[in-house]
Structure 1
Amino acid sequence: MTRLIEFVIALVLVALLFVLVGVFLPSHRYVRHSVETNRPARLVFDLLNGFQRFGEWHPLRMHDPAISYTLQGEPRGLGAKLLYASDQPKIGSGSFTISESVQNERIEFTIESEAYGYNKTAVFTLDDRGKTVDINWEYDVDYGWNLFGRYAGLYVTRTVGDDIKLGLTNLTGLLATVPNFNYENPMVDVQQTTVNSQPALIASTTADRNISAVEEELDAKITLLRGVIESNGLEADGSPRLVTVEFADKKYSFDVVIPVRRRAATATDPAADVASPAATPTSVPTAVAAPAIAFEGLNLPETVVSGVTYGGPVLMTDYAGHPASLPLIRDMLRAYAATHGLSVTDRAYEEYLTEISETSVEDSTFKVYWPIL
């Protein structure tokens, strides 16, 4: 009986000690780590301001490769939400919600998880130092009077802190795969949209990789295609396009494409084929129409073929200026795709909105496209 009483007293003393120590432990914990990247602040911000590539840098998937993610709410920015679920008890289920988003400066995630604590937030702040950007990841959690939580907070610098270090390492590794081109530029305003396919005439060619040779060859092929269009009773259904095939060190291979449609019947042209299908106008559609069909039975020279243009989702931007900057604009579209969880596919192309022979190169205007998945 004496030993039982001693055991009970020992338990009471341990409980009292647990409570006494717990009361004096902090009810709030804060962890912060930083890393440096040479990517511009806009690229870092866009990568973090959505959950499309979250699984590639956040350490949750490294703890459980089978974890499942579900996107909810806004696609990006304020209100975007990611639900996660894991069969591993240490992870369980929860969510991340973007509760604050200040472009190029700050992103706050509100965290719901099964771990001890409440008011959990992960805040990313970006310190732009010119050639480099410091990425700061801060974690805050409150435990209140939950003594078990306060004791758990003793280890938060190791549990959460080590995950933050791992996540920052993953993040810089992922950023290293993003093309280092800052699309936060007055020259571009990238948009994600869709285009419809159209019947077209196509001429393939190669030129030396300098702007004079490319524009001379492009102008010659546009003149050729326009003559073929006229002789076959067709009319242009959009601006001429340059579709990149291979951008090599010394040579540039590309297709010159002009969308076409049957010429509408007029009083002086009763033989025009008004029953033939016309292509969808080149204005930006909200959905992709049925694929176009190439015209058959045309009288074409060996260097021209009848085909169809690309139809589907694209990244697009307007550009006004020297055509020598078009490769840079295309690289900006690639960078935008990478930070937004998109994949460029097929071939980039430009619509020439001004006549080459009638416009100085500095006054040229274009629409630049890159198909995406």
Structure 2
Amino acid sequence: MKMFRRILFSILTLIIVFLLIGFLLPRHVYIQRSLLIKSRQDLLFDNVNSFRNWTKWSPWLKQNPGMKISYSGPESGTGAAFSFNRDNVNPGKGKFTLTHCYAYDSIILDMDFLEYGKANGKFIFKDLDSASIVTWIMESDLGRNPVSRWFGLLMDRLVGKDLEIGLANLGKITSETARNQTFTIEEKVVPERIVLTIRDSCSTVTIEKKLGSFYKKISQLIKNKKLTVTGPPFAIYHNYSNQSFDLEAGLQVDIRIEPPHGINCYVIPSQRTVMSSYFGPYNKTSVVYRAIEKYIHDKNQIITGAPWEVYLTDPNIEKDSLKWQTDILYPVK
């Protein structure tokens, strides 16, 4: 009986010591990993700025292919979020939300693991011309729970490995993205042209349908008036953001006419432009816009109007999106 009491007393003593030491351990966990990646800062940023891209590189999502994921908020940027639900893994449920996105420099997110607590994440992107340094940081407040603080001692070793794997995956898929995005930049004078256009607002969801409708109406007018098309279809983006556009689309024709209501006919004078010929899918052109704007800035030029796109490949004929050519032009002086 005395032996049992001694053993019980020893166990209780160890538990008390364990808890007392736990209260003395740090309540804050800070984990940081960095990696030099031979890729552009903007491409790396884009692959983190949308949770729909995380399935390609995040170790937590790649390791759990059966995970149920639902997205909410905008597709990218501040407010974008996703919730996850997975079986036989803890934490099994949670939600990640992008709270602050500073274009190409940093991204801050909240990670809510429900009953397992919360954490904050941060990505920092540093441009080194031909490469970038990406830093991934995770922070968590373990609160007053001494047991959690003991586990906190292991977090850098356990979670840090995941951050290293994630950064390596991010570098790999970003390099693949860069190889699939081919474009050049040059300066070009575009001659005067007569155009038929339709202008309206649209969203990222409706833009494809709107463009199809515009070109159909204009093509029918060209047929009725027996005009000659003198150039490929184009679209002018007067104002645009991640979600909406002030869009004017049209075709070049040989002569000026008096168009019906809703269709414009006018002459665009000769313009000096900075142009890029891009080959790839239409939804990946943002990187080209940024490259042109950087070129204009570096050359101390001034943008004098809205940019426009010229579509030289018919996707109904050429099915390989990597072969679709789009010329993107900015008027400058």
| TM-score range normalised by the length of the shorter chain | 0.5 to 0.7
Task: Spell out the pairing of 1:224-263 with structure 2 (5 A cutoff).
Answer: 234-236=225-227, 240-241=231-232
Pick the aligned partner of 1:367 from 290, 309, 319: 309
Give 2:23's aligned residue: 23
Unaligned 5+ residue runs, structure 2? 188-202, 235-249, 266-270, 289-306, 316-320, 322-333
- Tell me which residue corresponds to 1:136: 135
Matches within 5 A, 1:1-373: 1-114=1-114, 116-118=116-118, 120-179=119-178, 192=204, 193-194=207-208, 195-196=211-212, 198=215, 234-236=225-227, 240-241=231-232, 321=273, 325-327=275-277, 329-330=278-279, 335-336=284-285, 367-369=309-311
Cα shift readout 1:20-60 (whole Å, capped 9, x = no counterpart):
22122111111111112232222222221121211111111
Query: Per-residue displacement from partner, 1:5-31 (whole Å, max 9, x unpaired)?
Result: 123212211211111221221111111
Give the partner amino acid of 1:111.
M
Offset of 1:239 from its aligned partner? Answer: 6.6
The one-letter code matched in structure 2 to 1:15 is I
Deviation at 1:98, TM superposition (A): 0.5
Residue 91 of structure 1 and its aligned partner are, at CA, apart by: 3.5
- Counterpart residue number, 2:293: none
Which amino acid is the alignment partner of residue 130 of structure 1?
Answer: D
CA contact (8 A) 1:70 1:83 kept: yes
Distance 1:97 1:258, change over 3 A: closer
Change over 3 Å in CA distance of 1:112–1:186 after alignment to 2: farther
Structure 1 or 2: larger helix share?
2
Aligned partners of 1:140 and 1:186: how far apart in 2? 45
Given that 1:22 and 1:151 are in contact with CA atoms closer than 8 Å, whether structure 2 keeps it comes out as yes
Describe the SS at the equivalent of 1:53.
Answer: helix
CA contact (8 A) 1:178 1:338 kept: no
Tell me, what secondary structure is at the counterpart of 2:52?
coil
- Asked if the contact 2:36–2:132 (Cα under 8 Å) also holds between the matched residues in 1, the reply is yes
- CA distance in structure 1 between the aligned counterparts of 2:80 and 2:38, rounded to whole angstroms: 27
Amino acid at match of 2:232: R
SS class of match (2:69):
strand
Could you say which residue in structure 1 is the equivalent of 2:241? none
Find the residue that maps to 2:56 and give its secondary structure.
Answer: helix
Q: Deviations over 1:282-329 (max 9, x none)?
A: 99xxxxxxxxxxxxxxxxxxxxxxxxxxxxxxxxxxx9637xx542x4
Unaligned stretches of 5+ residues in structure 1: 203-228, 244-256, 265-277, 284-318, 340-364
Query: Separation in 1 of the partners of 2:212 and 2:8?
Result: 80
What is the identity, as a one-letter code, of the residue corresponding to 1:196? G
> Considering only CA atoms, is the larger Rg found in Structure 1 or Structure 2?
1
Q: Distance in 1 between matches of 2:17 and 2:90?
A: 27
Between the aligned partners of 1:113 and 1:99, the Cα distance in structure 2 is: 16
* Residues 258, 335 of structure 1: alpha-carbon distance in 2 compared, 3 angstrom cutoff: closer
Show the counterpart of 2:301.
Answer: none
The one-letter amino acid paired with 1:367 is E
For the Cα contact (< 8 Å) 1:111–1:122, is it kept in 2? Answer: yes
Contact (CA 8 Å) 2:44, 2:171: kept in 1 or not?
no
Please report the RMSD computed on the Cα atoms of aligned residues, expressed in angstroms. Answer: 4.2
Q: Is the 8 A contact 1:99 1:110 kept in 2?
A: yes
The answer (yes or no) to whether the contact 1:68–1:86 under 8 Å persists in 2 is yes
- Residues 152 and 320 (structure 1 numbering): CA distance in 2 closer, same or farther, change over 3 Å? farther
Deviations for 1:56-102, whole angstroms, at most 9, x for unmatched residues? 11111233210111111222211111111101232401011011111
Give the TM-score taking structure 2 as reference length. 0.62
Native 8 Å contact 1:81 1:97 kept in 2: yes
Identical positions, percent: 21
* CA distance 1:165–1:115, shift in 2 (3 Å): farther
User: Aligned pair in 2 of structure 1 residues 16, 201: CA closer, same or farther (>3 Å)?
Assistant: closer
| TM value normalised by structure 1 | 0.56
Could you tell me how far apart the structure 2 residues matched to 1:34 and 1:105 are?
Answer: 14
Answer yes or no: is the 8 Å Cα contact 1:241–1:258 preserved in 2. yes
